[in-house]
């Protein structure tokens, strides 16, 4: 693993090489998860801020690696496969300072390794917590360990070792974490979004030219249909009322020369008055 990752001397990870020490250190703890179906192995090395993906058939050369920057450590503190299919990797993306190992933040990343691969450019399909799946009310924001079941349920342990469980939900729904308990509940997908498989991920909006119908997105068939991103139904442009703005502008004065306008407004006389003007 060290031979496949060479760091520059300016990289703070150059001092984090693992040794054959018998002393336990929280900074150098590694996490390993094996998917027997795909024969893939996840290795999280938080001291390198890195997660490596190996095959059991070739343990000398990684299939892919993903780093989370060099300024901090903690990415890969805990790694696990989401279910027994071995297609989606769940990674604890913590952030600690190198010097004092002070905690900064904790997030859970899910990567679809089977579809998207695994590299620095791979984007997670879910980051928890998020705007729709908030932190459990009684849970600490610091996470220390992840555990998944064979059916795709995810348990997150906080800094006190208290677990919170995000249950996998059927298609057409997603797990809601805004709960008074330490378990999620199932809620329907928001209108205009869909999900056609079981999982803990959020529902996604339908693309342009489609609209959400049941557990999938249906194509808009009318030639003049209006189906933007996240549409909830197919609407014809003819149903929209056309509004034309008609604003009256003031008429220009007869005199357009500035001097004439000024003289006209400054010297106006009442011809009915009996006073005289010299």
Strand partners, 64: 53
13's CB contacts (< 8 A; 6+ apart) are: 7, 47, 48, 49, 70, 73
Euclidean distance between CA atoms 83 and 148, whole angstroms: 7
Write down the pLDDT at residue 13: 57
73, with CB counted inside 10 A (0-12, 13-18, 19+), is: buried
pLDDT > 90 in the chain, percent: 56
pLDDT of residue 15: 57
Q: pLDDT per residue over 71-121, tens digit each?
A: 889 999 999 999 999 999 999 999 999 888 999 999 999 999 999 999 999
* pLDDT at residue 7, as a whole number: 59
213-220 mean pLDDT: 84
Q: Which of 26-30, 32-36, 158-162, 163-167 has the lowest mean pLDDT?
A: 26-30
Phi-psi category of residue 114: left, alpha or beta, with phi > 0 → left and psi -120 to 50 → alpha: alpha
The whole-number average pLDDT for the span 47-61 is: 93
* Residues 214 and 172: beta-carbon distance below 8 Å: yes
pLDDT, greater one: 253 or 240: 240
At residue 5 the predicted structure's pLDDT band, cuts being 50, 70 and 90, is low
Q: 15 versus 180: which is more confidently predicted?
A: 180
> DSSP states of 7-28 as a string?
--TTSGGGG-------S--GGG
Give the Cα separation of 145 and 258 in Å (integer).
80
Helices (H) and strands (E) in the chain, counts: 2, 19
What is the overall mean pLDDT for the chain?
Answer: 85
111 is written with which tokens?
């990567």
Mean pLDDT, residues 64-73 taken together: 87
CA gap 84, 194 in Å, rounded: 24
- Looking at residue 18, what is its pLDDT? 47
Q: What is the pLDDT of residue 147?
A: 97
The answer to whether the CB of 119 falls within 8 A of the CB of 112 is no
pLDDT score for 174: 96
Answer yes or no: are the C-beta atoms of 164 and 156 closer than 8 Å. yes
**pLDDT, tens digit, for every residue of 136-180?**
998 999 999 999 999 999 999 999 999 999 999 999 999 999 988
**Alpha-carbon distance 78 to 161, whole Å?**
14
What's the pLDDT tens digit per position in 174-203?
999 998 889 999 999 998 899 999 999 999
Nearest CA to 136 among 165, 105, 106, 109?
165
Beta strand 30-35 with 235-236: parallel, antiparallel or unpaired? unpaired
């Amino acid at each position: 693993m060290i031979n496949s990752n060479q760091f520059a001397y300016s990289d703070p990870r150059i001092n984090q090489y693992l040794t054959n020490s018998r002393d336990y250190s929280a900074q150098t703890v590694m996490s390993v998860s094996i998917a027997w179906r795909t024969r893939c192995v996840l290795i999280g090395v938080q001291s390198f801020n890195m997660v490596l993906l190996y095959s059991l058939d070739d343990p000398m050369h990684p299939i892919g690696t993903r780093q989370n920057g060099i300024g901090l450590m903690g990415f890969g503190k805990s790694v696990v496969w989401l279910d027994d299919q071995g297609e989606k990797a769940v990674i604890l993306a913590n952030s600690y300072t190198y010097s004092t190992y002070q905690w900064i933040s904790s997030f859970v990343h899910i990567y679809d390794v089977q579809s998207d691969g695994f590299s620095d450019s791979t984007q997670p399909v879910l980051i928890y917590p998020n705007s729709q799946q908030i932190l459990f009310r009684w849970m600490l924001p610091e996470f220390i360990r992840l555990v998944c079941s064979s059916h795709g349920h995810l348990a997150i342990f906080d800094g006190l070792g208290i677990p919170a469980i995000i249950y996998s939900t059927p298609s057409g729904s997603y797990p809601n974490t805004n709960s008074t308990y330490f378990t999620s509940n199932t809620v329907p997908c928001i209108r205009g979004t869909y999900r056609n498989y079981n999982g803990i991920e959020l529902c996604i909006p339908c693309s342009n030219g489609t609209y959400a119908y049941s557990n999938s997105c249906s194509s808009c068939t009318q030639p003049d249909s209006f189906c933007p991103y996240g549409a909830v139904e197919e609407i014809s442009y003819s149903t929209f009322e056309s509004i034309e703005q008609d604003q009256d502008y003031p008429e220009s004065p007869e005199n357009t020369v500035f001097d004439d306008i000024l003289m006209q407004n400054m010297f106006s006389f009442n011809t009915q008055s009996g006073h005289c003007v010299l």
